[in-house]
């Protein structure tokens, strides 16, 4: 063996050593850090919960994550804590809120028994209110005014936007009637209870909000129709001129169609071609251009 050959061997060995040590330090840097893909989920009563599906990471990463399963037979809201312990013994904890709900078809679930998140920004025009997000008790908008075409009320900014929308529709010869604007908690309670009594909880869960969790209580939502009497708020609104105008032009005035047909699994409400929500022109355009619901937008922003 020549001296040169031995020298070469040493070089290769050294290179391998450097490579190996480089590798192991990269491994340390990439130590798994626990992350969840959701903050809150709704699970049908008595069904199996796939706890690992809410963890971001490989199967190997998930091996060191522990949690305490909950009893899915009891309706209600639960917190499940996931704990990951790394090779140094350090722990990371993440909490998932699980609502065990009475689930009907198409992701529609009953809002009863759910412990909602109380929102902190009810006066914000972009406030998110839905089956899991509730307006604080006793909160009421301070700047309600009548809308242009009826005694229905909206917050001042939303009422002005509705006036612009209404006049633009009128200019095109499109009929627009304001059917329902701001509602008090008492009115919403009456609506919800009446729907449950007359048409049952499944129907109510599809088209009516639980008291405290209606956008109408924010003074930022308005139901409109192409007719003033009869079957005013039906899917027929979708085929009417005003129903089409909401979709094509509503965003230009700051309104979104809040419960679209193809987003039922996200909004967890039935299709409501009549329910417009004011969010301001900027956000309305962004949601319109990207075909996003308020839920999807808020999740993206987190």
End-to-end CA distance of the chain: 65
Rounded to a whole number of angstroms, the minimum distance from the CB of residue 258 to Zn ion is 8
Contact range with Zn ion by CB under 5 A, out of 70-78, 126-134, 136-144, 267-275: 267-275
Choose, from 272, 286, 295, 296, the residue flagged as catalytic. Answer: 272
Helices (H), 47-113: 59-62
Site string (213-252) toward Zn ion, x via CB under 5 A: ----------x-----------------------------
Rounded to a whole number of angstroms, the minimum distance from the CB of residue 256 to Zn ion is 12
Q: Looking at residue 238, what DSSP letter applies?
A: G
Total interface residues for Zn ion by CB under 5 A: 2
Beta bridge partners of 43: 100
d(CA 260, CA 278): 15
Closer residue to Zn ion in complex, CB, 131/275: 275
Angle at 170 between CA 166 and CA 176, to 5 degrees: 55
Rounded to a whole number of angstroms, the minimum distance from the CB of residue 120 to Zn ion is 23
Closer residue to Zn ion in complex, CB, 94/258: 258
Closer residue to Zn ion in complex, CB, 75/179: 179
Query: Where in the chain does DSSP place strands (E)?
Result: 40-44, 65-66, 76-85, 91-101, 117-118, 133-134, 144-146, 153-155, 177-180, 221-225, 255-257, 275-278
Contact range with Zn ion by CB under 5 A, out of 31-39, 116-124, 246-254, 269-277: 269-277
Rounded to a whole number of angstroms, the minimum distance from the CB of residue 101 to Zn ion is 22
* From candidates 94, 183, 275, 277, binder to Zn ion by CB under 5 A: 275
Neighbours of 49 (CB within 10 A): 19
d(CA 225, CA 242): 7
Is 258 a binding residue for Zn ion by CB under 5 A? The answer is: no
Closer residue to Zn ion in complex, CB, 245/259: 259
d(CA 17, CA 20): 5
Residue 286 among the catalytic residues = no
**Interface with Zn ion by CB under 5 A: which residues?**
223, 275
- Catalytic positions are 272
């Amino acid at each position: 063996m020549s001296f040169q050959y031995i020298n070469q061997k040493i070089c290769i060995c050294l290179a391998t050593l450097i490579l190996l040590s480089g590798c192991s330090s990269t491994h340390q840097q990439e130590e798994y850090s626990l992350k969840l893909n959701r903050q809150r989920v709704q699970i049908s009563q008595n069904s199996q919960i796939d706890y690992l599906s809410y963890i971001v990471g490989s199967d190997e990463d998930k091996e060191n994550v522990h949690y305490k399963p909950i009893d899915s037979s009891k309706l209600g809201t639960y917190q499940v804590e996931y704990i990951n312990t790394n090779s140094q013994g350090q722990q990371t904890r993440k909490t998932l809120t699980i609502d065990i709900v009475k689930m009907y078809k198409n992701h529609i679930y009953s809002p009863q028994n759910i412990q909602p998140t109380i929102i902190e920004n009810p006066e914000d025009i972009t406030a998110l209110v839905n089956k899991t997000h509730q307006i604080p008790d006793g909160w009421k908008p301070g700047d309600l005014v009548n809308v242009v075409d009826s005694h229905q009320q909206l917050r001042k900014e939303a009422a002005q936007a509705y006036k612009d929308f209404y006049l633009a529709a009128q200019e095109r010869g499109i009929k627009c009637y304001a059917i329902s604007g701001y509602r008090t908690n008492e009115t919403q309670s009456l609506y919800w209870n009446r729907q449950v009594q007359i048409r049952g909880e499944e129907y109510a869960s599809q088209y009516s909000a639980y008291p405290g969790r209606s956008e109408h209580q924010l003074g930022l939502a308005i139901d409109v129709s192409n007719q003033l009497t009869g079957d005013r708020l039906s899917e027929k609104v979708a085929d009417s001129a005003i129903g089409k105008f909401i979709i094509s032009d509503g965003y230009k005035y700051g309104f979104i169609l809040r419960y679209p047909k193809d987003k039922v699994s996200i909004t967890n409400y039935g299709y409501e071609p009549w329910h417009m929500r004011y969010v301001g022109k900027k956000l309305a355009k962004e949601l319109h251009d990207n075909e996003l619901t308020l839920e999807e937008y808020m999740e993206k922003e987190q």
